[in-house]
């Protein structure tokens, strides 16, 4: 019988890319989403022809019979994400993400899938980095610290730290795999992150072109590489829990240079307007991928120029 995967947040950015990869491999896929953020579009319509789509709000307990129980792997990706959403409604972010994780893991206690994968975040390490307690590249064993515990931005990191703990406590019941995503980008990621925001303003012909936090640095990971790592971690043999950073450590880039690269690829040259960093935004993010390299071995990744070109083409064809 074919492997059966259940993906929460399956209508979202990484969820849809993951679903397509698994379906192409012959895996049976069930997608769970409430469409509060996930998009009902042509891509999802195509996935729905091959996968089972279940509409459910995961802040509510999962009723008996709503989800199939012959599931081998659960990928719990559903969460409220995005800096603006966190700033606008931090209490909702914390409540939604913790309740969703709790209800999914409670369901797993009954359904007993072989593996549960949790999508976590690079923001887990931001507090330690801001306090000088984390090195760069940043490994997984940094302490969890909220440098500003009551700031709006803290709610997302806290929600993921709680979810990580809830899943780790179940390590004796299921194979636990946790991936902390570092700056994943790609088509269909929405409009609230730095790359699509830059692209939207490029397409709108903005001049001068605003760049916030020009000296901050990031290492961006294409969604195809993130999905490859996610699947590899979920299939890693052994009963010991595994927590790994998921990202791309091959190139760290300043935000100003990211803007210049996108403008060059788009063939435009507006004047740059350098502005202050967004409040609470970390100065640097660069993952230590030693665990991931051990799991995957040597691998090619999507070069940043190629990924940005793909993003420009995809968003250029989309209606903004």
Backbone phi and psi for residue 90, each to the nearest 5 degrees, phi listed first? -65, -35
- pLDDT class for 1, splitting at 50, 70, 90? low
- Whether 45 has a pLDDT exceeding 60, the answer reads yes
For residue 191, give Cα distances in angstroms to 84, 87, 145, 201, 267.
Answer: 11, 16, 29, 11, 21
DSSP assignment of 205-257, as one string? T-SSEEEESTT-EE--EEHHHHHHHHHHHHT--SSS-EEEEES--S--EEHHH
- Whether 308 has a pLDDT exceeding 60, the answer reads yes
pLDDT in tens, 180-230: 999 999 999 999 899 999 999 999 999 999 999 999 999 999 999 999 999
Count of structural domains, the chain: 1
**CA 118 to CA 178: how far, in whole Å?**
5
State the pLDDT at residue 320.
Answer: 46
DSSP assignment of 124-192, as one string? GGHHHHHTT---SSB-TTPPP--SSTTSTTHHHHHHHHHHHHHHHTTTTTSEEEEEEE-SEE-TT--SS
pTM metric for this prediction:
0.96
Choose between 94 and 297: higher pLDDT: 94
State the pLDDT at residue 318.
Answer: 77
pLDDT in tens, 231-242: 999 999 999 999
Q: Domain range for residue 63? A: 4-317
Mark residue 35 as left, alpha or beta (left: phi above 0; alpha: psi -120 to 50; beta: remaining).
left
State the pLDDT at residue 41.
Answer: 81
Give the mean model confidence (pLDDT) for residues 96-122: 98
State the pLDDT at residue 246.
Answer: 98
- For residue 211, the tally of other CB atoms under 10 A from its CB is 21
Backbone phi and psi for residue 246, each to the nearest 5 degrees, phi listed first? -120, 115
State the pLDDT at residue 44.
Answer: 87
- pLDDT class for 42, splitting at 50, 70, 90? confident
CATH of the domain at 129: 3.40.50.720
- Whether 113 has a pLDDT exceeding 50, the answer reads yes
Residues in contact with 97: Cβ distance below 8 Å, sequence separation at least 6, in sequence order: 79, 80, 156, 159, 160, 162, 163
pLDDT in tens, 126-165: 999 989 999 999 999 999 999 899 999 899 999 999 999 9
State the pLDDT at residue 37.
Answer: 64
State the pLDDT at residue 43.
Answer: 87
State the pLDDT at residue 40.
Answer: 66
């Amino acid at each position: 019988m074919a492997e059966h995967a259940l993906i929460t947040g399956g209508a979202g950015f990484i969820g849809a890319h993951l679903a397509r990869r698994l379906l192409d491999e012959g895996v049976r896929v069930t997608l769970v989403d409430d469409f509060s953020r996930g998009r009902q579009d042509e891509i999802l319509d195509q996935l729905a022809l091959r996968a089972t789509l279940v509409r459910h709000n995961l802040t509510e307990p999962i009723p008996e019979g709503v989800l199939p129980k012959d599931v081998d792997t659960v990928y719990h990706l559903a969460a409220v994400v995005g800096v603006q959403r966190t700033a606008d409604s931090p209490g909702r972010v914390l409540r939604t993400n913790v309740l969703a994780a709790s209800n999914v893991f409670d369901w797993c206690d009954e359904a007993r899938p072989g593996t549960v994968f949790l999508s976590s975040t690079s923001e887990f390490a931001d507090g330690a980095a801001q306090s000088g307690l984390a090195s760069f590249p940043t490994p997984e064993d940094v302490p969890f610290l909220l440098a500003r515990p009551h700031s709006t931005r803290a709610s997302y990191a806290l929600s993921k730290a709680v979810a990580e703990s809830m899943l780790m406590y179940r390590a004796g019941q299921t194979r636990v795999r946790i991936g902390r995503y570092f700056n994943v980008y790609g088509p269909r990621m929405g409009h609230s992150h730095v790359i699509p925001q830059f692209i939207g303003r490029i397409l709108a012909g903005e001049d001068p072109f605003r760049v916030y936090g020009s000296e901050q640095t990031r290492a961006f990971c294409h969604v195809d590489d993130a999905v490859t790592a996610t699947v590899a971690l979920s299939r890693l043999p052994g009963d010991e829990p595994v927590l790994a950073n998921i990202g791309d450590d091959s190139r760290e880039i300043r935000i100003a240079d990211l803007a210049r690269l996108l403008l060059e690829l788009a063939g435009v040259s507006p004047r740059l307007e350098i502005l202050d960093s967004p409040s609470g935004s970390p100065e640097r993010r660069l993952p230590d991928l030693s665990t991931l390299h051990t799991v995957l071995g040597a691998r090619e990744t999507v070069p940043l120029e190629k990924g940005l070109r793909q993003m420009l083409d995809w968003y250029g064809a989309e209606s903004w």
